[in-house]
Amino acid sequence: MTSNTRNRSTSSGDSSAGLEQPCRVVVALGGNAITRPGDDGSVGQDYVNLTQSLDSVIYLVERGYQVVLTHGNGPQVGNQMIRVELARGQAPDLPLDLVVADLQGGLGYMIERVLRNRLLSRGLEQPVCALLSLVEVNKDDPAFENPTKFVGPFFQETEVAALEEKRGWIMRKDTGRGWRRVVPSPDPIAVVERNLISTLINSGALVIVTGGGGIPVARSEDGQLEGVEAVIDKDLASAIIAREIGAEELYILTAVEQVVLNYGTDMERPLSSLSVAEARDHMAAGQFPAGSMGPKIEAACRFVEHGGRRALITDILTLEQALQGTTGTWIHP
């Protein structure tokens, strides 16, 4: 793994103060960094949320970290697919890879703009670059035969048969909410622009990449890239890019301060630290569901197993406290 550390001063409250600190980190922002539950989803509200959510990134830049930023796009994908549905018959349909690409560009612009303005207001001269990122998957991934990822708007059960017949969709019941389209969520293999991303990082830029898990592509038999109808998990994609650029640490920022065992029961127990072996044992026991904490734990484990120093899971608004050792859950070898 590429080593890229330097000495930098830290506060006495930092859990590793006085030691040589990691300077290359990947920060994976959850979807609630942009649109939070209960929000109207307007652009204005998204900017308000981003201004607050990106405090943690500013904190890292001020302390000398070299930051690569990734982000989710779950709520925005749903809104975009509603637009596609409403425009049916009046504008051409958009394939899912192009929907992800459109959102990656739009959200990347919003994040870059907010970051540039925040950095300027703090007197920090830090270049920022949002880069469209293609993430390669295996065209023979079993996920293509078993779509599980819910996308797009909700439909009534009476509409399901017609949607499956006319559009070739696979529909599943999203418990308690209605019927939705499901698409494959294959494992990410590699980020196509990884060498370019490393060049940008080495030039001093804060790079925003693999938004929404990356634009899903697969190789044809002659090596050509082809877009695929899929959605890649953004945390798994973040682990891939962290490994490929030689990041020392991976920070997965979500809607909870710590990982807990027995979630939602009277036996809840927050965890401040987990070894990879312990995390995998808990996953095997069904502690971390596939639709919520499971992918985050899996991404953290993969990153550490492939040479990462450690991974952190915590709330978007509590990264500073987690780095000081007062909250968060660390995954270590």
Listed as own residue / partner, the contacts of 17-23 with beta carbons closer than 8 Å and 24 or more positions apart are 21/63, 21/64, 21/65, 22/65, 22/247, 22/248, 22/249, 22/309, 23/64, 23/65, 23/66, 23/248
243, two tokens: 């490994």
Q: How far apart are CA 232 and CA 238, in angstroms?
A: 10
- Of 227, 159, 158, 161, nearest to 192 by C-alpha is 227
160, two tokens: 């399901």
Q: Which stretches does DSSP call E strand in the chain?
A: 24-29, 66-71, 128-130, 134-137, 149-155, 170-174, 178-183, 188-191, 206-208, 215-219, 225-227, 249-254, 259-261, 269-271, 273-275, 310-315, 329-332
Contact yes or no for 61/67 (Cβ under 8 A): yes
The catalytic residue positions are: 31-32, 149, 234, 296
Question: What are the backbone dihedrals phi and psi of residue 141, each rounded to the nearest 5 degrees, phi first?
Answer: -60, 135
Q: What is the DSSP string of 50-91?
A: HHHHTHHHHHHHHTT-EEEEEE--HHHHHHHHHHHHHTBTTB
Q: How far apart are CA 1 and CA 315, in angstroms?
A: 28
- Of 192, 195, 185, 194, nearest to 299 by C-alpha is 185
